[in-house]
Amino acid sequence: MAKVRILPGDDNSNGWSRILPARTPQPALQSEVRADWIVLGAGFAGLAAARRLAEQRPDERIVLLEAQAVGEGASGRNSGFAIDVPHNVGSSLAELEGSQRFIRLSRAAIDYLARAVEAHAIACQWSRRGKYHAAVSPRGKAEILEPVAKELDALRLPYRWLDHEQLVAEIGSPYFHAAVHTPGDVLMNPAALTRGLADSLPDNVTLYERSPVREIDRDNGVRLTLPGGSVAAPKLILATNGFAAQFGFFRGRLLNFAAFASLTRPLTAAERAALGGEDDWGLTPANAIAGVTLRLTQDHRILIRQRFEFGPSLRRSDAHRAAIRRDHQACFAARFPMLPEVTIEHTWTGYVCLSRNHAPGFGQVATNVYAAVCQNAVGVTKGTIAGLLAADLACGQDNPLLADMQSLGEPVALPPRPFLDLGVRAWLGWEVWRARAEK
């Protein structure tokens, strides 16, 4: 039996869900329940796992448990990019083959999500606008963007190269030196998408929200204990991302980081005109640790995602968030000098889970337990495909993408704490300093 020591405790400031109409979550679990399957965690991974199980086993009962309201975890509070090509790829044959696998998996995830969005008319501003991968400095252009462009050539993937002037014409901000635009990435409101997926689950899935699991017992099948009751089933798919270690899996192998994002108020018509450029775009930074992710949403808000911190406690204070908002306002002012009056309306914290070797926590991890965790900060696509494939694996359903997923390896062991903390903080500090021109 394992007791859960850290429960999800996200702040209630997620701008993506605050700007949506109110939604009534499904009731919390308040009884003793038996099912054929349990899926734990209703982010992209758990939602895909539950939907896929329901498709594969229409006569079996699936229980999906979520500690918070759907859309309030990381899946509803990210930057809203479904990424189809890796941010940065290497040029060796092995790395290129790895990139091809990444692309096959990501595209399958995007197709799966696109079908659900269309079939259930999920209003999440889903748009296949692609994304800009942008460098601030000439050095960032030479050291990151030019190699990325070469690798996209080697992979025979379409892209556009934009110099400063072309980029200003498309996004309005004069801040960037150059960018590579890839056309296959999708932008959306991730809270709206997550909610929409949860609210359109097949009938044989029962979703319990605000239902935190406090204990797991795996002696005879799986039994999960919650404050209001329990669920027992022969099999479990664990989709709790960075919380997996709380259930006894991938201990000492997963790294949790806090990431922070802000949304401005909508621009007025005059401000939108002053910004110029096109509507509805997304930009990722050449250096994801030091740089800033930006979006202009369909309703003319600007998103800023900036700063990573080591976050093993999975908690950040409101005072810290207030300080981050000031940093984000300064980032905004530097990038959008033509919008001096635009203020930030929402700032929130979320957590990403990484492994040292960027491998996912995927596969059968115990007799009755399958995992789809550790999405390495690209969980919209990686979480979706991991959840779907975990369900196929658990059902014994052949899927050619399983080989791609399994070839990604498994998370390697980390050094023990406190050496780990010192190492990670030193690495983050070095990365931010080394790439300071990209901020």
Ligand X SMILES: Cc1cc2nc3c(=O)[nH]c(=O)nc-3n(C[C@H](O)[C@H](O)[C@H](O)COP(=O)(O)OP(=O)(O)OC[C@H]3O[C@@H](n4cnc5c(N)ncnc54)[C@H](O)[C@@H]3O)c2cc1C
Q: Is 80 in the site for ligand X (CB under 6 A)?
A: yes
Q: Are 281 and 171 in contact (CB under 8 A)?
A: yes
Closest approach, Cβ 15 to ligand X, in A, equals: 10
> Between 271 and 390, whose beta carbon lies closer to ligand X?
390
Single-letter amino acid code for the residue at 150: K
Instruction: Give 362's strand partners.
Output: 372
> Between 81 and 332, whose beta carbon lies closer to ligand X?
81
Please report, as residue ranges, which positions from 188 to 247 form the binding site for ligand X (by CB under 6 A): 212-213, 239-241, 243
Q: Is 66 in the site for ligand X (CB under 6 A)?
A: yes
Q: Is 405 in the site for ligand X (CB under 6 A)?
A: no
Q: Is 267 in the site for ligand X (CB under 6 A)?
A: no
Q: Which stretch binds ligand X (CB under 6 A): 2-10, 89-97, 142-150, 151-159?
A: 2-10
Q: Is 122 in the site for ligand X (CB under 6 A)?
A: no
Query: What does the alpha-carbon distance between residue 158 and residue 288 come to, in Å, rounded to a whole number?
Result: 22
Residues in the chain: 439
Closest approach, Cβ 254 to ligand X, in A, equals: 11
Q: Which stretch binds ligand X (CB under 6 A): 103-111, 362-370, 378-386, 409-417?
A: 378-386
Q: Is 378 in the site for ligand X (CB under 6 A)?
A: yes
Q: Which stretch binds ligand X (CB under 6 A): 62-70, 102-110, 139-147, 396-404?
A: 62-70
Closest approach, Cβ 385 to ligand X, in A, equals: 11
Among residues 151, 375, 391, 165, which one has the least CA distance to residue 250?
375
Query: What does the alpha-carbon distance between residue 406 and residue 281 come to, in Å, rounded to a whole number?
Result: 33
Q: Give the residue, chosen from 43, 140, 360, 361, that forms a contact with ligand X under the rule CB under 6 A.
A: 43
Q: Is 347 in the site for ligand X (CB under 6 A)?
A: no
Instruction: Give 370's strand partners.
Output: 237, 364
Helix spans in 336-438 (H): 379-395, 401-406, 419-434
Closest approach, Cβ 134 to ligand X, in A, equals: 15
Q: Give the residue, chosen from 75, 204, 287, 347, that forms a contact with ligand X under the rule CB under 6 A.
A: 75
Q: Is 4 in the site for ligand X (CB under 6 A)?
A: yes
> Between 2 and 149, whose beta carbon lies closer to ligand X?
2
Residue with tokens 């207030």: 322
Query: What does the alpha-carbon distance between residue 130 and residue 150 come to, in Å, rounded to a whole number?
Result: 19
Total residues contacting ligand X by CB under 6 A comes to 42
Among residues 259, 359, 262, 249, which one has the least CA distance to residue 310?
259
Q: Give the residue, chosen from 261, 286, 324, 365, that forms a contact with ligand X under the rule CB under 6 A.
A: 261
Beta strands 62-65; 205-208: pairing state: parallel
Q: Are 266 and 250 in contact (CB under 8 A)?
A: no
Closest approach, Cβ 434 to ligand X, in A, equals: 22
Q: Are 263 and 19 in contact (CB under 8 A)?
A: yes
Closest approach, Cβ 80 to ligand X, in A, equals: 6
* Positive/negative CA dihedral, 106, 74, 386, 420: positive
* Token pair in block for residue 154: 């080697």
Please report, as residue ranges, which positions from 307 to 326 form the binding site for ligand X (by CB under 6 A): none
> Between 124 and 261, whose beta carbon lies closer to ligand X?
261
Q: Is 344 in the site for ligand X (CB under 6 A)?
A: no
Q: Give the residue, chosen from 144, 352, 354, 388, that forms a contact with ligand X under the rule CB under 6 A.
A: 352
Query: What does the alpha-carbon distance between residue 231 and residue 223 come to, in Å, rounded to a whole number?
Result: 6
Residue 147 burial (CB count, 10 A): 14
Contacts of residue 103, defined as CB under 8 A and 6 or more positions apart, other chains included, come to 84, 85, 86, 155, 157
Q: Which residues bind ligand X (CB under 6 A)?
A: 4, 7-8, 40-46, 65-68, 73-75, 77-81, 83, 212-213, 239-241, 243, 259, 261, 305, 350-352, 375, 377-381, 383
